Chain A
Amino acid sequence: MKLSPGQRRRTSQASRIAERRRLVAMTGAAAALAVLAGACIVIALAVRRPAASSAAQPSLRVAYSPESQALLGELLAEFNKTHPKSSSGKAIQIELVPTWPDQMARSAVAGEVQAVCPDSSIWLGDIDAAWSEQAGNTGPLVGETVRFAISPVVIAMRQEVAGSLGYPGKRIGWTDIIDRARSDSQFSWSHPSTSSASGLLATLAEFYAGAGKTRGLTVEDATAEATLKYVAAVEATVKHYGEGELATVEQQLAGGDQRLDAFVVQEQLVVYYNSRSEDKLVAVYPAEGTLWEDHPLALLELPGLSPEAREAFAAFAAFLKGDQAQAIVLHQGYRPADLSIPLDSQGSPLVAANGVDPRQPETVLQVPSSAVINVVRDVWWYTKRHTNVILVADTSGSMDGSKLEAARQALAAFLDSIKGDQERVGLVEFSTSIVRVIPLAELSQNRQALQVAIQDMEAGGDTALLDAVSNAYSQLQELGDQERINAIVVMTDGRENASRTRLSQLVTRIKDGNSRGVPIVIFCIAYGHDADRNVLSTIAKASGGQVRGGDVGSIQDLYKIISTYF
């Protein structure tokens, strides 16, 4: 059929229109599909988002004693390698939160963690007591508990010192240590504060000895005047306290002037020390009895505890009791909870060559009730060896801003950490000049003034670091107090540029003063990257002290740690 030109034009026009319509329709459909697909993707992403964020949430948060970091860290790493999953297929994630045992009750009742792993079960009673106080009679908070590693508390002693006390022929006890410390001024010993099980045990042992008992210690015994006098006399012989047993062992390994003849730690740390040192320690299992650090992992039966948390706990607990974990436990010098593992198996570090005896201890001290333990901990602040400590704070111009604000908070936290009002604290600020802001006095008299002065600190001027240390050192030497621990805590963020005192003069003065006069230990905090660490190290070393590095984020914790030495 032939079409006329008009028809052809119309047909061609119609076909173009139809083509255009199809194109429009297809474009519209494509656009609609694109919108639909886009919407689907958006919805999919929106639906997925909460899952992604919940995957980032740990299934279980566990507060653990920082002393067990090496063991728990390794065990958790191995656990994670198994890619554990819950019954719903979600990845199990466990977060370890370092918390000193005496702080765990607070974290537990606040619901900040769902499980705890203190160094000893002795703290579990505290948690239940705190829960009972907060929640009333709703049953215990501490639920299922598993043990995976244990270690007895021992007196770690230099081999030659133990020999002089009659070891190994004679059984050595707490009273031998106490008698030696009281009769020999050169005998240097230490125990951690009552924030850890080993420190608490050492303190309990002193209270038992003071009360003339080996069991049945009561509140009346612990607060009797004769007991308190005895404990105070013993504590006066302690060289210094410290941030914990592991830190003490590390300091002993590092050498220096803080060498101790004896210190209280768990058996595992004797193995740890001996495997790294030529100079050997022996673990003395006290004749009167000791305590066990049993590292319990306990689930907290908090209201609304999620099934995921329960599953995570069960999976981790099962892993800790398994063969692989138990082999790690023994390898690190702990006694495994799996009784089928012989302590004298091949490769076991629990051998006489490492200063330990797996057949010991033969007896333990009786653990009093939570009420008596709390009294002992409170009373200890009054019987412990007291301190004269001068805080030397840099307020030069470079401290301006967030640095100074963090320093204020850190100094305030330091004061809060020192609970005993009988401790003496003073404050010296330095920039171009030196200002004795608050004279050294007991906290019962100047705690509030110190708090105000700390908040009023302002930055400006140069850095007369050496003059400031010299000034604080003079104050303590002039006081001449041999009964107390004497210390300076100096913090600076910069380089010395304004002192009259030279470093060599200061070092000579410190060495002479510490040998002829009152021994004063200097803790130095290098605050930020610009602090002159070499100068600070030289000062600290001359006094037998330490240098610690800190920044805005860590300065508060650092001051808290240093407070444990007093």
Chain B
Amino acid sequence: MNRTRLVFVAVILLAIGIVGASYALRGAGGQPLEPQKQQKIEVRVACALPVEPWVRQAADKFNAEGHKQDGAPITVQVIAVDGLTARSRFERGDFDPLPTVWIPDSRYLVELANLTLRQKQGRDVFLTDGEYRARPIAVSLFAWGIYSSRAKVLQAKYGTINWRTIHDAAIAKGGWPELGGQASWGYFKLVVPNPRRNVGGLAAMVAAAGEYYGKTRIGVDDVTNPQFQAWLGELMGAVTDFSSLSAYSAEDLALFGYSMGDGGQLLESDLLTHMAGIQARWQEPMLIIYPDYITWFDFPFTIWMGPETTAAEKNAALQFEQYLLTPDVQRQAVMQGLRPVNSDVSLDLPDSPFTKWKDQGILQVVPRSSAMRSPDRDTLDALLRWFDLNVMQR
């Protein structure tokens, strides 16, 4: 081999060596030699199911607009999780990674989580005052949604629709013919979300207790009263299937129609979201009726204050919260059936579901009524235990 060839071979081998070494380094997890980019700030939002589509839509827009915190780009990631499930995952330390923000269905879930976590952490991890306090981003309330043909029969028989008359319909042995409806409708079928999958189910039971006792604050003694439990048991006996009910009860009501449920007390925003689909699929609209005892969900934006969240993440989260409260984003909430918390935004928007479904009973101003108070932890646990033992294992 002459010298030229040797040099040529050496150069080739050197090149192979360099390529091989760089390949090996890259394969081993090394980064290619590029200028280091600014670290992004990730805001992970564990979000209650009724507001999740709206928050996700806002997050996508927020991410696309390139918002920054201290010069670093912010990315918002939304995780859909029912409020009760999220509460137990926080309490068990089951989230990995831990969400920066929690938007549960109601403020009382934050209080319940704080109660448990205070014992472990020695302080509140979700604040109720100060800069980082939990603040509502939209509200909604529970209303009766009943297929109009069925609602008319019930109104003709009982005059008004409330938990007591629904209970009477539920226990009618002769089913719909006894109530004045058609035989093909079978027996009266009530939709109540499974409280183990949807906090709305718990809210429905608390509301039923409120009407049963005629008061807004419900305690352990009330829900453990055998007469009340027997009455509630009869009511739950009209639910066709808790196993198939997903966390999205209004969606179930739309998907399976009157075959599965004639109606139920569900979140107004969920009902509004599915009104068009219900009409298209079953050719029959729902009637919306507001109860005397109203349960509100206020979807508080709650920042995790534990050491796992950095100051930059907290401030980035605050930026996103402010973004959700802007008039444009609040209008998007209205279009999804939620009531805005920004007083500059009206429900009376063109194409708003609050305008579109007026004839079906939707009211922009909720009639004078009593708001149900949030029950304490023991009351909720007692209700859930009763549900597990008497309904799921019936």
Do A and B originate from a single complex? yes
What is the interface of chain A, defined by CB distance below 8 A to chain B? Answer: 22-23, 26-27, 29-30, 33-34, 36-37, 39-41, 43-44, 47-48, 51, 120-122, 124-125, 138-140, 144-145, 147, 150, 152, 171, 214-216, 218, 287-290, 292, 294, 296, 337, 339-340, 342-343, 359-372
| A-B pairs with beta carbons under 8 Å apart, 11 shown | A23-B3, A36-B17, A40-B20, A51-B27, A138-B92, A216-B394, A362-B185, A363-B189, A367-B240, A367-B243, A369-B394
Q: 8 extra interchain contacts, Cβ-Cβ under 8 A, other than A44-B20, A139-B92, A294-B256?
A: A23-B3, A30-B10, A43-B28, A44-B23, A122-B241, A140-B197, A363-B186, A364-B240
Contact of B280 among A215, A218, A342 (CB under 8 A): A342
Contact between A147 and B186, CB atoms less than 8 A apart: no
Instruction: State the Cβ distance, B91 to closest chain A Cβ, in Å.
Output: 10
Distance in angstroms from B9 CB to nearest chain A CB is: 6
B366 touches A (CB below 8 Å) = no
In the complex, chain B residues whose CB is within 8 Å of the CB of A372: 394
Contact yes or no, A40 B21, CB < 8 A = yes
- Knowing A44-B20, A145-B246, A367-B243, say if A339 contacts B27 (CB, 8 Å): no
Q: Which of B240-274 contact A (CB under 8 A)?
A: 240-247, 254-256, 258-260, 274
- Name A40's closest neighbour in chain B (CB-CB): B20
When distances are taken between beta carbons in the complex, the residues of chain A under 8 Å from B246 are 121, 145, 147, 296
> For A152, what are the chain B residues with a Cβ–Cβ distance below 8 Å?
259
* Residue B281 CB within 8 A of the other chain: yes
Chain A residues, CB < 8 A from B237 = 215-216
Please tell me if the beta carbons of B394 and A30 are within 8 angstroms of each other in the complex: no
Q: Which residues of A contact B281 (CB under 8 A)?
A: 339, 342-343
Question: B174-215 CB contact bits vs A (8 Å, 1 = yes)?
Answer: 010000000011110100000011000000000000000000
Judge if B14 is at the interface, Cβ distance under 8 Å: yes
Query: CB-CB < 8 A to B391: which residues of A?
Result: 369
- What is the CB-to-nearest-CB distance from A419 to chain B, in angstroms, rounded to a whole number? 23
Residue contact B274 to A339, C-beta cutoff 8 Å:
yes
Are A44 and B24 closer than 8 Å at their CB atoms? yes
Determine if B17 and A40 form an interchain contact, defined as CB atoms under 8 angstroms apart.
Answer: yes
Residues in chain B near residue A337, CB distance under 8 A: 255
Cα distance, A33 to B9, chains bound together (Å): 10
Asked if residues B17 and A33 are in contact (CB atoms below 8 Å), the reply is yes
Secondary structure type dominating chain A contacts: mixed
CB-CB under 8 A from A171, the residues of chain B are 184
A43 in contact with B6 given A363-B185, A363-B189, A371-B393 (CB within 8 Å): no
A40 with B24: CB separation less than 8 A? yes
| Contacting pair A359 B283 (CB below 8 A) | yes
Q: Contacts of B258 on A, CB cut-off 8 Å?
A: 362-363
**Given the complex, which residues of B lie within 8 Å of A368, measured CB to CB?**
394
Is the CB of B277 closer than 8 A to any CB of chain A? yes
- Once A30-B9, A288-B186, A340-B280 are accepted as A-B contacts, the answer to whether A122 and B17 lie under 8 Å apart by CB is no
Specify the chain A residue showing the minimal Cβ separation from B182: A362
Which chain A residues lie closer than 8 Å to B185 at the CB level?
362-363
Residues of B within 8 A of A150 (CB): 255-256
Given A34-B13, A121-B243, also A339-B393 (CB < 8 A): no
Partner of B244, one of A294, A342, A370: A294
A122 touches B244 (CB 8 A): yes
Bound complex: CA A218 to CA B233 (Å): 14
Please report whether the interface of chain B is mostly helix, strand, loop or mixed according to DSSP: helix
A-facing residues in B48-94 (Cβ within 8 Å): 80, 85, 88-89, 92, 94
- Considering the chains assembled together, what is the distance between the CA atoms of A339 and B250 in angstroms? 12
Q: Is the beta-carbon distance between B186 and A43 smaller than 8 angstroms?
A: no
Q: Which residues of A contact B187 (CB under 8 A)?
A: 214-215, 363
B349 within 8 A of partner (CB): no
Rounded to whole Å, the gap between the CB of B179 and the closest CB of chain A is 14
Separation of A282 and B85 alpha carbons in the complex (Å) = 43
| Interface contact A362-B244, CB-CB below 8 Å | no
Determine whether the beta carbon of B241 is less than 8 Å from that of A364: yes
Residues of B contacting A22 in the complex (Cβ-Cβ under 8 angstroms): 3
Residues in B whose Cβ lies below 8 Å from that of A34: 13
Q: Could you tell me if A44 and B27 are in contact, using CB atoms closer than 8 angstroms?
A: yes
Q: Is the CB of A367 within 8 A of B393?
A: no
* Interface contact A367-B392, CB-CB below 8 Å: no
Least CB separation from B260: chain A residue = A364
Cβ distance B231 to chain A, nearest Cβ, rounded Å: 16
B278: min CB distance to chain A, Å: 7
Q: A139-B92, A366-B240 are in contact. Are A339 and B259 (CB under 8 A)?
A: no
A214 to chain B: which residues have CB within 8 Å?
A: 175, 186-187
B156: interface (CB < 8 Å): no
Q: Which A residues are in CB contact (< 8 Å) with B278?
A: 339
Assembled-state Cα–Cα distance A150/B189 (Å): 20
Contact between chains at A124 and B254 (CB < 8 Å): no
Known A-B contacts A215-B187, A368-B394; A125 and B243 likewise in contact (beta carbons under 8 Å): yes
Smallest CB separation, B209 vs chain A (Å):
22
Which residues of B in the span 341-394 have a Cβ within 8 Å of any Cβ on A? 391-394
Cβ-defined contact, B14 with A33, below 8 A: yes
B244 touches A339 (CB 8 A): no
Q: Kindly state whether residue B230 has any CB partner on chain A within 8 Å.
A: no
Closest chain-B Cβ to A51's Cβ sits at a distance in Å of: 7
B7 near A: Cβ within 8 Å?
yes
Contact B17 A37 (CB under 8 A): yes
B276 at the interface (CB under 8 A from A): yes
With a 10 A CB-CB cut-off, give which of B189, B196, B243 has the most chain A CB atoms: B243
Chain B hits for A371, CB < 8 A: 393
Task: Check A47 against B24 for contact (C-beta < 8 Å).
Answer: yes
Contact A47 B280 (CB under 8 A): no
CB contacts (< 8 Å) of B24 on chain A: these are: 40, 43-44, 47
Q: Check B244 against A47 for contact (C-beta < 8 Å).
A: no
A292: B residues at CB distance < 8 A: 244, 256, 259-260
Q: Which residue of B lies closest to A341 (CB)?
A: B280
Q: Known contacts being A51-B27, A361-B259, A364-B260, is A37 close to B20, with CB within 8 Å?
A: yes
Q: How far is the CB of A80 from chain B (nearest CB, A)?
A: 25
Q: Which 7 A-B pairs have the closest CB atoms?
A: A339-B277, A40-B20, A363-B186, A47-B27, A121-B244, A367-B241, A37-B17
